[in-house]
Structure 1
Amino acid sequence: MITTLLAAVAALGWGAADYCGARASRDVPAARVVFLSQVVSLPVVAVWLAATAGHGPEPAALVWGFGAGALGLLGLVLLYRTLAAEGIVLVAPVTAVTAAVVPLVVGLALQTAPGPLALCGVVCALVSVVLVSQAGRIRRATVATRTLLLALATGGALGLQLVFISHPGPDAGLWPLVGARAVSILCVAPGALRGRPKTGGAPVPWLPVALAGTLDTAGFAFYLFAMDEGLLSVVGPVVSLYPAVTVVLALILDGERVSPTQAFGLCLGAGALLMVAL
């Protein structure tokens, strides 16, 4: 029960962070939003470490964190490419479900399989991710193979990020997150600083930027806490429900409409959490 609750809180943090990041990106370039949000989150990471770390960093934990950060950035770059490609409506659910399936498969291969009810909940969570990610109707009967491969690669990178950052185990604490943050900040910094206008330009919306960084960090922290006791094959698909949070926030704060398919996906996601928790 506690594992599912922690995973759900992680999904809540990531979904809210995505919403705040999207709002901030309306005014300034997305690369700068990512860079600033992660820099702002560093004090939050330091507080988490001070409260939870019982020892100094282990090289192996940092290395796995470096790998997670690199995979997360790769997934982000590929995601931007898919957003510019044709067949976006198909890309979103393919990316989302692939990101959920990767930790499921790795967890089933390396760990004990969950119970029948929990496994059924995991399947429902995967279907929910697909339904919530739907943004409309596909206009074309076929989708380019390159676009589909980009979607699969994006989801694979994001799914492997979850595997890598949790691999060191509970003894590593949040040090893998430190490694991931270091890689992402160093890699994003050149593009973000190069794109900074010399004069004028829209001011940085610091509130959504700070919220995006803080909530994203909290999401990773609660994910690692959930992995301390839970199975990757269960926690991975549960945290992948975070797009549902983004949809709900857009509905409440922006007045956007949710399609019947997305509404059903939200309900199915709630049912999936209950099945996994029982």
Structure 2
Amino acid sequence: MHTRVVVATAAAVLGTAAPLLSPASGAGAGEAGDVGRPTVIAHRGASGYAPENTLASIDKAAQLGLTWVENDVQRTRDGELVVIHDDSLQRTTNVKALFPGRAPWKVKDFTAAEIARLDAGSWYSPAYAGTRVPTLTQYMRRVDHNREKLLLEIKNPELYPGIEQQTLKLLGNEGWLDRGHLGRLVVQSFSADSVRKVHDLKPAVTTAYLGKPTVAQLHRYARSVDLINPSYDSLSREYVASVHALAGPHGRPLGVFTWTVNDATTARRVAGYGVDGIISNKPDVVRSALGSG
């Protein structure tokens, strides 16, 4: 098969078995149970239709019938994990109006209470005025309520020492590290060191590296990551095949989730390369292009 999808069972710590993403089994394909099609992941939620990384965006993904959502996690000055993409609050909130003297408005320089006051929806549309930046706790509870699965990105880990351990602790407290949830979670980062820390701390967690290592480097990444997730414009059929040829830390072939694909032509092209997942701001467009819903 030239396309493979996810959710298989692999051995975990202490001899128990935990469900892990792997391009080996036929479950979850195309978000509609279509075996042989890539999984479609809603980028920052359904961010083509609602303000990114908000509860509204993951609710919209659920309304569209999407199972997988992706988000970004950073940390406030007082240690709260929040869901936001940029290291500055300026682009997606009204922080400049509310706190005019606090430039450059970095997430790490604001308390959780201050960030909770911000409007994270009006920049996108007046219809979303008053939408808030969610804490990771709020976000995980909504994902669970929606019965969604999560591709969680640790953003800018160099700015937040210890964020890997803190994120895993919160996930554990919310029940996302138990057997029933592990198959619904992938943790990724652009930092290979950060992904390695997550794997070392919780080997049962499925991990992904955001980027495109050279083929010669792939064997090193395979020690601690289950997926290699490059941008779509960097991919080729040969590269995907090289990734699939290696086994990851759980003994399954490495997978490939590519980003960020928002049109039908590109979706069909990368599906033809054999990718296991496609991350999109307009996941319904991708799903329709692949004939999976």
Pairwise same-fold verdict (TM > 0.5): no
Relative to its length, the structure with more strand (as a share) is 2
- Higher RCO (C-alpha 8 Å, min separation 6): 1
Relative to its length, the structure with more helix (as a share) is 1
